[in-house]
Amino acid sequence: MLTKVMALELATTGIRVNAVGPGYTATPMIGGIEDNAAAYGAAMSITPMNRLGTPEEQAAACLFLATGESSFMTGQMLHPAGGQFTG
């Protein structure tokens, strides 16, 4: 909600406000999850692409929002999450 409110407040100033909501990503934060069948199974059960994301994929989403390619986007949540938020 903070993203949406700030986007509305700042839209006329030319400042865009967006957010990134990553899915399960292969980082030290979840290191070893692939070795824990129950934890990995639970994570993949809500990830339609059935794999972990990479830090590079998360960075690419952030870079997209920082470029002119997203110049007409504000108040949005981008989910590089393997389809977790499609349901």
Domain-embedded: residue 59: yes
The pLDDT score that the predictor gives to residue 32 is: 93
The pLDDT score that the predictor gives to residue 87 is: 72
β partners of residue 20: 78
Domain-embedded: residue 84: no
Domain count, the chain: 1
pTM above 0.75, yes or no: yes
Q: φ, ψ for residue 7 (rounded to 5)? A: -60, -45
Confidence of residue 3 (pLDDT cuts 50, 70, 90): very high
The CATH number for 22's domain is 3.40.50.720
**What's the rounded Cα separation, in Å, for the pair 85 and 73?**
19
Residue with structure tokens 């700042």? 10
**What would the mean pLDDT of 73-83 be, rounded to a whole number?**
97
Say which DSSP state 78 is in.
Answer: E
Residue ranges making up the domain that contains 16: 2-78
Residue whose C-alpha is closest to residue 71's, from 4, 18, 21: 18
- pLDDT tens across 13-69, in order? 999 999 999 999 999 999 999 999 999 999 999 999 999 999 999 999 999 999 999
H runs (alpha helix) in 11-73? 37-45, 55-66
The pLDDT score that the predictor gives to residue 19 is: 98
